[in-house]
Amino acid sequence: MKSVAHDTAVRQITATLKGPVAEAFRQAVPALAQIDHKEFYDSVMGNGDLLSACLMIFQKRREAFAHLLVDANNREVHDDFVQLRCGRSVHDIVAMVVRSHAKRQFHRSLGGDPADPSSRANRLYRAINEYLIHDWQVALVPHYAPLAVERVTELGPAILDARDAQSLERMAQKGDAREGNARGVPVAMPVPQPLPPASAGLGRSKDEEYWWETLNDPLVRRALALDDGKMRETIAVLANIGDGTRREVMSNLGLTMAQAAVVLTTALQVMGRSGFNAIFGTPGKPPAVKMFADRLAATDQRKRNDLKGLGGVVTALLQQAPRSGRAAALAG
């Protein structure tokens, strides 16, 4: 599948949101038809309550947008992690919308020149934008704005553990980077769901396409330094990880997709393909995966923001294995 350049995809998506998507909302909900078509995008993006309502309407009345949710072959897409014609998935577009809204709100509440990278609003946005990925975060944007940039950087992906204003406030004040999990709040990390094989001729399954996109992130590529041959091998292995790995490593740890790619690829490099598949593959060994995830969760949270450093943390954890084999370290 051909990759779409970031700037090109953003322009296409923004034009679609301002045009066909705005019109679909106005036709689906009479109350929204009162908003002028030309002003719809800016009105929604500038109002958190209205944006949250629109995102909820989209999820509940998805059929109203079916004509827009198609892939490159004009086939309807029903999975939020499958690429659309624009080269991005629904999940990607939701994240883009949440980030755009947050950027506007940070400048509105914190002031400063939007073009000035040293302004507090811009520094906060740069610190948090990687973790603005879910529709439920729109309601938290006003509560993100007062956070210290340094605290946001320290928390990293753990900020996703806070699903409401109260837990976010406690996390900011107490420095409890795992507060959300301690209170039993699930981390809503995007996880690629098991997908059917791609149609004949595409050459890769949907999971392989997903990992191809993630491993080709410039930051991930620099952290892992994979050549083309290793890239193909890694994609094939990661496309077949087990349910326990999806749950424990890609969801419960609260990692971004780039971080998950570094964690799993580093584990593959250290353990080798057979050792990795025995633990992290299908069916794998879920108890061992959980133990690994727990050990990783107990490491310095700040190191997760440095992808190369994160790879070093994973290597160190796995090299604690006795001589009988790396997998033994995961079994305790």
Residue 276 has pLDDT above 90, yes or no: yes
- % of the chain surpassing 90 pLDDT: 42
Top mean-pLDDT range of 186-190, 205-209, 285-289: 285-289
By C-alpha distance, which of 77, 16, 25, 318 is closest to 206?
Answer: 77
Using only the alpha carbons of the chain, give its radius of gyration.
Answer: 21
Whether the bond between 283 and the residue before it is cis, its omega within 30 degrees of 0, is yes
CA angle 135, 219, 127 (to 5 degrees): 50
Residue 325 has pLDDT above 70, yes or no: no
Q: What is the pLDDT of residue 198?
A: 38
Could you give the C-alpha distances from 233 to 85, 131, 265, 267, in angstroms and in order? 27, 28, 10, 14
By C-alpha distance, which of 256, 217, 257 is closest to 238?
Answer: 257
Q: Which residue has the higher pLDDT, 196 or 225?
A: 225
Q: Which residue has the higher pLDDT, 98 or 257?
A: 98
Residue 301 has pLDDT above 70, yes or no: no
CA angle 165, 58, 138 (to 5 degrees): 20
CB neighbours of residue 215 within 10 Å: 21
pLDDT in tens, 69-116: 998 899 998 877 788 988 888 888 999 999 999 999 999 999 888 889
| Distance in angstroms (rounded) separating the CA atoms of residues 88 and 81 | 9
Q: Which residue has the higher pLDDT, 58 or 324?
A: 58
Residue 265 has pLDDT above 80, yes or no: yes
| Distance in angstroms (rounded) separating the CA atoms of residues 171 and 165 | 10
| Distance in angstroms (rounded) separating the CA atoms of residues 213 and 4 | 10
Q: What is the pLDDT of residue 79?
A: 79
Q: What is the pLDDT of residue 145?
A: 95
Q: What is the pLDDT of residue 278?
A: 93
Round to the nearest angstrom and report the end-to-end CA distance of the chain.
Answer: 41
Top mean-pLDDT range of 6-15, 42-51, 240-249: 42-51
Chain center to CA of 257: 5
Q: pLDDT class for 140, splitting at 50, 70, 90?
A: very high
Q: What is the pLDDT of residue 200?
A: 39
Q: Is 242 left (phi over 0), alpha (psi -120 to 50) or beta?
A: beta
Residue type, 228: D
| Distance in angstroms (rounded) separating the CA atoms of residues 107 and 103 | 6
| Distance in angstroms (rounded) separating the CA atoms of residues 261 and 216 | 10
Q: Say if CB 168 and CB 143 are below 8 A apart.
A: yes
Q: What is the pLDDT of residue 109?
A: 94
- From 31-45, 173-187, 233-247, the region with the lowest mean pLDDT: 173-187
247 burial level (CB within 10 Å; 0-12, 13-18, 19+): middle
**pTM exceeding 0.85:** no
